Structure 1
């Protein structure tokens, strides 16, 4: 057994290329959890696997599924509880994040399966949360905590370039959307007949439910307009300005105290993630299991066909830990 980098992400290769993924996981289930907590993730390579085996293997490890309602990324459910990875355009880079980190109910585990690796690019870079606590300036943490956390604001409007109301909530009925928001700890306000604003205020840190470790999960580097506008320009929208409706950016983060977050803070967090990320080229049949609190992930741009499947498991209400 080796690791991707200095003990981070355990790499386990099949002794025999014919080793069945489900059978191996069933036999080794007792060691997977401590390995996952120690290394932040496990990369399984060389096992006999396909989509059906992946789905069964996930169920062996964890059958408790996570509802993706309210999630930011466009994705398709291809089997019961199995989704495509983000369907954002292939030349768009996805910044480092903990899956559903601003949701009230967050998956503790995330599973990836490589059906088809891209011809170039398309890696899933990874960052150790333990490492990020040491490299992000402490003053940033202190400032966020002094302001009571972070509020994430989304403006859903027909002119928005981002995921719309129907795709996000699975309905366009206002009462149903409001009920989902109440359930999930989201403030919802109709600014107009076709303009919904949602606000989610979350702490910047959670405690890991098994180890008690402090984990930084705030995604200000994704939600700050300065950062996502830079990504849009890199994507090809040269000269783009901040898209907005009535002077409200389509999405943004502010301190929970309603104070604006300076772009230098978001940029410092983004740069720290850039420096610390570790990646590997996907191979057909690879299975990656992550502890979603101990490890963040992203996606690099790619060319060619890329088909990575995802399963989100072990929902936990974050206000309970």
Structure 2
């Protein structure tokens, strides 16, 4: 099924599993094409949640960065990150370092923080030999599909994220917060509603409570917007979970989630959330040169395990504030 949006010269969207537009004969740079269709593209992403632009001809990191600059209102600079990324420019990064044999489960980028990117862009430079596909899921559909009592419980209590920063397991606090100044970290935490605790050897523990559902300011739809399952101990590979528990103890895991009032989550609840995501997952079929644009609030994303060389440039833009999304 195909549809058109906007003026007559707008591209035509193929409404397959993931809304897709094909650049048939690119006679200009990706940056210029995206700039020329900017308003239409942004409206399409809001309507469909995610839009794949095929045939754009992205041929390097600089091309992705330039194209992203043509689309976003402002870059989003990541803080409180979880995995190492190379920085290619303001709000432009490598994909997170994550073992290629492990899936990266469904999540919304930086959805544990007060401020998060409203728009995510993924530029494919090399798709890998096998696997590695990005999958997306409609967050409003997830909210409707989860059991009503589960949603009501999280709507009432919210959810809590506890982090312990270890340079050997994820990111050091210096890398995560982009500063080696403790006062700067504390100021960021205070502004974002995090509590913090310094250990005797300079280690850092933080806790933060957020709402589990947000209302999209442009669509009015209620989204299941969080990382309750993704950052839970129960989503970890069992062997990795046992290693981390042996190494750091029950309260020292690099990350873990709970109900907002501190009640622990059980494995069954986390498994149900992940299974609901899987049931609603749509696979992005893409290749080198393509760009996937995602509304971060309305659409969760994941990554399948892969083999071979895979390079994806990730960009974050349009900073959003949770306070404006209730």
Given that residues 111 and 225 in structure 2 are in contact (C-alpha distance below 8 angstroms), is that contact kept between their aligned partners in structure 1?
yes
Aligned partners of 1:255 and 1:286: how far apart in 2? 39
Q: Quick one: which of 40, 52, 60 aligns to 1:43?
A: 52
Contact kept? 2:86, 2:94, Cα under 8 Å? yes
Query: How far apart in 1 are the matches of 2:128 and 2:137?
Result: 21
Tell which deviates more after alignment, 298-307 or 256-265. 256-265
Where does 1:64-103 land on structure 2 (aligned, <5 Å)?
A: 64-103=74-113
Aligned residues of 1:243 and 1:249 also touching (Cα < 8 A): no
Residue 202 of structure 1 corresponds to 210
Q: Distance in 2 between matches of 1:71 and 1:60?
A: 25
Unaligned runs of 5+ in 2: 1-12
Q: Where does structure 1 lack aligned partners over 5 or more consecutive residues?
A: none
Q: Normalization by structure 1: what TM-score?
A: 0.90
Within-5 A mapping of 1:47-62: 47-50=56-59, 51-62=61-72
* C-alpha RMSD of matched pairs (Å): 2.0
Contact kept? 1:229, 1:241, Cα under 8 Å: no
Report the CA distance shift for 1:243/1:229 in structure 2 as closer, same or farther (over 3 A): farther
Shift of residue 204, structure 1, vs aligned partner: 0.4
- The correspondence of residues 228-267 of structure 1 with structure 2, limited to 5 A, is 228-230=236-238, 233=239, 237=240, 240=243, 242-243=245-246, 245-250=248-253, 251-267=255-271
2:155 is aligned with 1:151: no
* Paired residue total: 311
Contact kept, 8 Å, 1:229 with 1:242, in 2: the verdict is no
- The aligned counterpart of 1:284 is 288
Aligned: 1:135 with 2:141: no
Aligned equivalents of 2:37, 2:174: Cα separation in 1: 41
Provide the C-alpha distance between the structure 1 equivalents of 2:280 and 2:270, rounded to a whole number of angstroms. Answer: 16
1:115 corresponds to: 125
| Aligned with 2:173 (options 151, 165, 172) | 165
Distance 1:130 1:225 in 2: 25
Question: The residue matched to 2:123 in structure 1 has which SS?
Answer: strand
The Cα offsets for residues 113-164 of structure 1, whole Å up to 9 and x where unpaired, read as 0111111111111111132122221121011123x20110001246x62322
SS state of the match for residue 93, structure 2? Answer: strand
Q: 2:40: which partner in 1?
A: 31
Distance of 2:269 and 2:199 partners within structure 1: 29
